[in-house]
């Protein structure tokens, strides 16, 4: 039985998600948007490319939650993207209202779906989504860490002139300026990045500049685009999570997951390595962090908690 992915939000990321899913022949796609014309137009346009790229999935667009029922995966990008000068936090009030509406729309129509949230400010919006929808915590996860890690690996590959396939690393913590690049676990061609610094292959200052550029990766693209924010790499990252779930790949991926004591954190969503398989978030992988990484991770958790407190001021029911 072919699987069904509903994309709530058919904007820049939603449309790219639909196209990537189609090219991978991964599942049927329902594009949902309050602007139903965008959903319908993009669904039809991608469907018309199927003879060229030889995929056979069904694509449709709608603004009616009935059409999204019994989805296996739901990927949410509904919301307002950041505008130049806006911080992720500025987005909070607008997108909290939207995510509450989305939760109402999906909770009775697709109660067994694996829900991937992309809407910013990510760590808090995914937590609000889980609370508003009442879905099991292992079935609601946020996409950010894969994108941030991908940006970090890309910048490192450019600096060291090494193919991206030969670099392993990830970024943890909140999807914000406090995100933590895990240098202790970063390997280039099997060698620890910290050893490459010792051998003079890359200066520590240069590595720190790359970490800073990663933290500001979203803002850098917003500045170029002026209208809207990044969407190709975010969409690629979201499909990676959906595929690991649908094909039970049990990939270890950095995602915003519910922490219930792991990493000394309770009752909060934050970016950590998780195993994604057919049961959703199947395991939180606890790494041994260096004291510096532990300290930075704690700072990142605190900034997520602060933002969640701000969200609770907006909606005390959270
Ligand atoms: O790493 C990450 N998680 C971030 C997330 C990376 C990049 C962008 N990030 C955020 O994703 C961004 O800040 C936004 O909050 C979302 C979506 O970004 P996108 O660039 O796709 O925004 P668009 O193009 O404006 O699309 C949003 C769509 C748009 O078509 C609206 O009509 C629709 O959302 N929308 C809704 N759909 C359904 N239901 C409601 N209520 C609704 N309101 C708006």
**Distance separating alpha carbons of residues 292 and 38, to the nearest angstrom:** 46
**42, 67, 75, 79, best to mutate for ligand 1 pocket (most atoms within 8 Å of CB):** 79
pLDDT for res 90: 73
| Ligand 1 centroid – CA 14 distance (Å) | 8
**Distance separating alpha carbons of residues 241 and 51, to the nearest angstrom:** 27
- Between 145-160 and 232-246, two packed helices, what is the crossing angle to 10 degrees? 120
**Distance separating alpha carbons of residues 277 and 300, to the nearest angstrom:** 27
Q: Write down the pTM of the prediction.
A: 0.96
Q: Among candidates 215, 284, 245, 251, which has minimal Cα distance to 116?
A: 245
Q: Which residues of 170-197 are buried (b: 16+ CB within 10 A; e: fewer)?
A: bbbbbbbebbbbbbebbebeeeebeebb
Q: 3-state SS of the chain: helix, strand, coil percent to 5?
A: 50, 20, 30
Residue 67 DSSP code: G
Q: CB of 84 within 8 A of CB of 98?
A: no
**Distance separating alpha carbons of residues 31 and 11, to the nearest angstrom:** 10
**Distance separating alpha carbons of residues 59 and 154, to the nearest angstrom:** 32
Q: Among candidates 105, 26, 108, which has minimal Cα distance to 73?
A: 26
Low-confidence stretches of the chain (pLDDT beneath 70): 82, 88-89
pLDDT for res 89: 65
Q: Whose CA is nearest to atom 13 of ligand 1?
A: 81
pLDDT for res 176: 78
In tens, the pLDDT along 201-225 reads: 999 999 999 999 999 999 999 999 9
Q: CB of 221 within 8 A of CB of 229?
A: yes
Instruction: Judge whether 175 counts as a catalytic residue.
Output: yes
**Distance separating alpha carbons of residues 102 and 126, to the nearest angstrom:** 12
**Distance separating alpha carbons of residues 119 and 162, to the nearest angstrom:** 32
Burial-class residue 9 by CB neighbours within 10 Å (0-12, 13-18, 19+): buried
| Ligand 1 centroid – CA 119 distance (Å) | 6
pLDDT for res 25: 97
The set of residues, in sequence order, having a beta carbon less than 8 Å from that of 218 and lying 6+ positions away, is: 82, 88, 229, 230
| Ligand 1 centroid – CA 33 distance (Å) | 10
> One of 19, 100, 131, 175 is an active-site residue; which one?
175
pLDDT for res 273: 96
The residue to which tokens 């943890």 are assigned: 172
- Give the pocket of ligand 1 (CB within 6 Å): 8-14, 33-35, 38, 77-82, 91, 95, 98, 101-102, 118-120, 122, 143-144, 147, 175, 218, 228-231, 234
**Distance separating alpha carbons of residues 279 and 162, to the nearest angstrom:** 35
**Distance separating alpha carbons of residues 49 and 60, to the nearest angstrom:** 14
**152, 234, 256, best to mutate for ligand 1 pocket (most atoms within 8 Å of CB):** 234
| Ligand 1 centroid – CA 12 distance (Å) | 7
pLDDT for res 207: 96
pLDDT for res 86: 72
Q: Whose CA is nearest to atom 14 of ligand 1?
A: 81
Q: For residue 200, which phi and psi values (nearest 5 degrees)? A: 80, 10
Q: Whose CA is nearest to atom 7 of ligand 1?
A: 230
| Ligand 1 centroid – CA 148 distance (Å) | 18
Q: Whose CA is nearest to atom 29 of ligand 1?
A: 11
pLDDT for res 88: 64
| Ligand 1 centroid – CA 84 distance (Å) | 15
The residue to which tokens 């909070």 are assigned: 92
Q: Which residues of 73-82 are buried (b: 16+ CB within 10 A; e: fewer)?
A: bbbbbbbebb
- Looking at ligand 1, which atom is closest to the CA of residue 229? 20
- Looking at ligand 1, which atom is closest to the CA of residue 15? 21
pLDDT for res 43: 98
Q: CB of 114 within 8 A of CB of 139?
A: yes
pLDDT for res 298: 93
- Mapped onto helix, strand or coil, the DSSP state of residue 62 is strand
């Amino acid at each position: 039985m072919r699987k069904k992915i509903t994309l709530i939000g058919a904007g820049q990321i939603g449309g790219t998600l639909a196209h990537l899913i189609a090219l991978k022949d991964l599942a049927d796609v329902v594009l949902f948007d309050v602007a139903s014309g965008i959903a319908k137009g993009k669904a039809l346009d991608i469907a018309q490319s199927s003879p060229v790229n030889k995929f056979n999935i069904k694509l449709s667009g709608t603004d009616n939650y009935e059409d999204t029922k019994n989805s296996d995966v739901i990927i949410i990008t509904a919301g307002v993207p950041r505008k130049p000068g806006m911080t992720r936090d500025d987005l909070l009030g607008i997108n909290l209202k939207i995510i509450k509406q989305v939760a109402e729309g999906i909770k009775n129509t697709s109660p067994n779906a694996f829900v991937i949230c992309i809407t910013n400010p990510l760590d808090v919006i995914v937590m609000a989504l889980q609370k508003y929808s009442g879905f099991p915590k292992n079935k609601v996860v946020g996409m950010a860490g894969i994108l941030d890690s991908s940006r970090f690996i890309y910048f490192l590959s450019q600096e060291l002139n090494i193919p991206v396939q030969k670099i392993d690393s990830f970024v943890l913590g909140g999807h914000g300026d406090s995100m933590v690049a895990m240098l202790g676990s970063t390997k280039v061609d099997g060698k620890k990045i910290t050893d490459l610094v010792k051998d003079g292959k890359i200066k520590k200052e240069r590595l720190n500049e790359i970490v800073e550029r990663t933290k500001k990766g979203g803002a850098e693209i917003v500045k170029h685009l002026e209208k809207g924010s990044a969407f190709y790499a975010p969409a690629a990252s979201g499909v990676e999570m959906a595929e690991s779930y649908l094909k039970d790949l049990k990939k270890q991926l950095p995602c915003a997951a519910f922490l219930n004591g792991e990493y000394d954190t309770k009752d909060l969503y934050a970016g950590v390595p998780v195993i994604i398989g057919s049961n959703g978030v199947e395991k939180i992988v606890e790494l041994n962090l260096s004291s510096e990484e532990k300290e930075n991770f704690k700072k990142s958790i605190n900034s997520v908690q602060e933002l969640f407190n701000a969200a609770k001021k907006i909606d005390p029911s959270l």
